[in-house]
Structure 1
Amino acid sequence: MNILYITKLTGNPWDGTTYCVPYQIHAQSKLDNVMWLNLSHVQKDEWNKESYFFKSNDSAEPQISQLPSPFNKPDLVVVQQFYCYPFSSIIRKLQGMKIPYIIQPHGEMNKSAQKQKRIKKIIGNLLWFNKMIKRSFAIEYLTDNELKNTAWPQKKSLVIPNGITLPDFFRQKRPLEGINATFIGRLRIYHKGLDVLLDGIFLVKDKLKEEKFKLNIYGHDKDGNKERIQKIVLEKQLQDIVSVNDGIYGEDKEHVLKKTDLFVLTSRFEGHPIALLEALSYGTPSLVTPGTNMDKMVSQFDAGWCTEFDATAISKVLLKIVKSKNEWANKSVNARNLASVYSWDAIAQKAHAEYEQLLKSKDS
């Protein structure tokens, strides 16, 4: 198959797509003939070295007709992201040329995500994005739960998850004194459910102090959310339990994950969170909510603890966690085993089979 990937990656280190999309394309290149067109004109060294990365020297938006054959008329186009107006002109060209395209929204079509910047999205959907969806070949979701919670359930769909590269480092986690818990992600209070998480910690803060439970929050600040989180921590007198830190990347993140006993992600909604997959790959048991789209897998593999998205429920699970140190070693092995399910090569094989089936259905 000749597959063209269209993205608008900025290369920002706090954006999960900066990592998962290039890995996905690289894995797919082992099975299919691929080209990657990035409309933001960002060219990172590790992207440029790939023969399939289209390097444009023109400041204008590249056109499909400018691409080398066969990518000026590929078998399939995969559009990575949804709410991105620069896609509109190139999508219109694809529609005019009757080239099938699928959209991978990375959580942006979720009903909960539609509530953020709601008016802006309603207008955008009416003006363009509903048409983009209607004329697409299919929507590619990252998890069954993302599909279940989509605002466009009537559209043909497929489910292909994110992947992970397993680190060489693995050591069974066994907290001996206290629990070192970590959150890594964007500091978006509503999206990541940090408000409800802190409410849950507040309900049992005395017991958590007694058990030497510490939560280190790491993330890129967005719209002053870091200051708001710090204010909540002070108002609830959680500063002995919770610390709020700048984002960490690369070797700094690896160092933190190696020392982490418990990874915490209590999101209202997600696509398929890379930070959680990374934590699991280091053998880190995790506390998750249904909004992460990983609660069923964490439960199935016994790779951590699941909780409803509710402060009281979170507080009860936290009390259970601090009393479960004898379970940690097994859960740590299970976390690593869960991460191994998501190897990039396995994901590429699944995508290849799904795409072939889609194209056959188009021709039949």
Structure 2
Amino acid sequence: MGVIHLILGKANPEKMNGVNKVVYNIATKQAENNFPVEVWGISENTDVNYPERLFTTKIFKSNSNPFSIPEDLKKEILKTNSSTVFHLHGGWIPVFSSLGKFLHKNKRKYVITPHGAYNTVAMEKSKFRKKVYFNLFEKNFIKNASKIHCIGESEVDGLQTVFPNTKNVLIPYGFENLKEDFQINSDKKEIIFGFVGRLDIHTKGLDLLVESFATFNKTYPNSKFWIIGDSNEKYELQKLIEIHKIADKIELLGSKFGEEKNNLIKKMDVFVHPSRNEGLPVSVIEAANFAKPCIVTKNTNIGYLIEEYNAGINIPFPDSKLLEQAFIDFYDIWNDQNQYEKICRNAIKMVEEAFDWNKILQRMNTELYTE
């Protein structure tokens, strides 16, 4: 048995497309473990404009009709062994609905990773159009899949609302653990909360963050918030901070990368990610890897692990009052050295265990690919 990942794109890790990066990482790890794996992509061009990789890559030129399967892709599918598992990445993609029919007709097994396409918030967007499309195309695409790989609870919940099923398998992505010396900031004069990510005010819950921190800071003035990231909403976010009269306490540090970003995270005391809608935020995992306790919403799809490992606080839904209370709770924890250090260690343990690539690959093999 082998696995062929099917995507839109070329699995180029140097591009901004998150799905392509994830597929590249999964295929690379599978190849490193001597698992027979290939990546097939549908793209506007077939240029080899991506780095060398450990796995075979085949690119097929997309047709002008979004539902049309490239003829050379059909021929390649029919050449494969009947035991091959096709792993399709994405949801609400017209050509994938056609591929699902083709694979099913030709007795080829396929699994789906929607990458957030079916989470509860995504399902509400363009709800009427999606309902029509679902009944015409997506329903059979899901129905004929062997398994549906969900990366978070919100995707399981969202899919169950429109297509109750027993095919869901909840497996997070793996993370390349960076072995770091465990450090706790010794300066207890002020607590530093932090956020890293795209400055999408509504999606990332940054309006809730500013409102709740402004109220919290009035009672606990020895606190600061660092926001790392950028977007065309930066000016709007700055105005929001000024409206709440907290510009001297919330710093917009702009985009940071590599060691510069990592060094800033290491200086934080608590990492905060109050999203309204997420797939699986890598920034939370990165922060936990640096022994940073995390305050997250359930919507981040990592909250259940934060709770399971006692690595921070999981807020049941995005709400400024709940977030303010989480700030207060963590201020008390931060002042208790033993309790704070224990949660820091739990954050590292969570990354080492829940996002270990070897365990992730084993689960994918036994729960996704093997009946």
TM-score, normalised to structure 1, is: 0.84
Counterpart for residue 214 of structure 1:
225
Secondary structure in 2 matching 1:191? coil
The code of the aligned residue for 2:366 comes to A
1:218-269 deviation digits (Å, cap 9, x = unpaired): 24x2xx4333323322222222222335444444433333333221111223
Counterpart for residue 54 of structure 2:
50
1:85-125 deviation digits (Å, cap 9, x = unpaired): 34344344323323121111122211222123435534543
Contact 1:289/1:307 (<8 A) preserved: yes
Query: Structure 2: any 5+ residue segments left out of the alignment?
Result: 64-69
Contact 2:87/2:111 (<8 A) preserved: yes
Counterpart for residue 8 of structure 2:
8
Task: Specify which structure has the bigger relative contact order, considering alpha-carbon pairs within 8 angstroms and separated by 6 or more residues.
Answer: 1
Counterpart for residue 67 of structure 2:
none
Contact 1:35/1:71 (<8 A) preserved: no
Aligned partner of 1:349 among 349, 353, 362: 362
Counterpart for residue 352 of structure 2:
340
Counterpart for residue 328 of structure 2:
319
Distance across 1 between alignment mates of 2:332 and 2:47: 48
Distance across 2 between alignment mates of 1:132 and 1:228: 41
Distance across 1 between alignment mates of 2:241 and 2:177: 34
Pair 3,85 (structure 1): closer, same or farther in 2 beyond 3 Å: same
Q: Are 1:194 and 2:190 matched, yes or no?
A: no
Counterpart for residue 139 of structure 1:
148
TM-score, normalised to structure 2, is: 0.83
Counterpart for residue 236 of structure 1:
244
- Which of 253-262 and 312-321 deviates more? 253-262
Contact 1:287/1:306 (<8 A) preserved: yes
Distance across 2 between alignment mates of 1:353 and 1:15: 28
Contact 1:265/1:276 (<8 A) preserved: yes
Contact 1:170/1:283 (<8 A) preserved: no
1:59-110 deviation digits (Å, cap 9, x = unpaired): 7657434548964756211111213334344344323323121111122211
Matched ranges for 1:1-364 at <5 A: 1-9=1-9, 11=13, 15-29=17-31, 30=33, 32-40=35-43, 45-46=50-51, 48-54=52-58, 61=70, 63-67=72-76, 71=80, 75-144=84-153, 146-150=155-159, 151-155=161-165, 156-174=167-185, 176=187, 177-208=189-220, 210-219=221-230, 221=231, 224-308=232-316, 309-325=318-334, 326=337, 327-341=339-353, 342-358=355-371
Distance across 2 between alignment mates of 1:13 and 1:250: 16
Distance across 2 between alignment mates of 1:122 and 1:68: 30
Contact 1:4/1:74 (<8 A) preserved: no
Pair 335,227 (structure 1): closer, same or farther in 2 beyond 3 Å: same
Secondary structure in 1 matching 2:57? coil
Distance across 2 between alignment mates of 1:278 and 1:159: 21
1:189-209 deviation digits (Å, cap 9, x = unpaired): 33322222222123223234x
Contact 1:11/1:42 (<8 A) preserved: no
The code of the aligned residue for 1:338 comes to M
Deviation at 1:171, TM superposition (A): 2.5
1:141-196 deviation digits (Å, cap 9, x = unpaired): 12355423433452322222111111122322335232332222233333322222
Contact 1:181/1:262 (<8 A) preserved: yes
Distance across 2 between alignment mates of 1:131 and 1:154: 13
Secondary structure in 2 matching 1:189? coil
The code of the aligned residue for 2:197 comes to G
Deviation at 1:140, TM superposition (A): 0.9
Pair 140,68 (structure 1): closer, same or farther in 2 beyond 3 Å: closer
Distance across 1 between alignment mates of 2:87 and 2:102: 14
Coordinate RMSD, CA, aligned:
2.9
Distance across 1 between alignment mates of 2:121 and 2:185: 36
- Which of 262-271 and 281-290 deviates more? 262-271
Distance across 2 between alignment mates of 1:246 and 1:288: 21
Contact 2:149/2:368 (<8 A) preserved: no
Give the paired residue count: 352
Contact 2:7/2:20 (<8 A) preserved: no
Distance across 2 between alignment mates of 1:91 and 1:63: 16
Query: Structure 1: any 5+ residue segments left out of the alignment?
Result: 359-364
Deviation at 1:5, TM superposition (A): 0.4
Contact 1:266/1:289 (<8 A) preserved: yes
Distance across 1 between alignment mates of 2:186 and 2:21: 30
Deviation at 1:336, TM superposition (A): 0.6
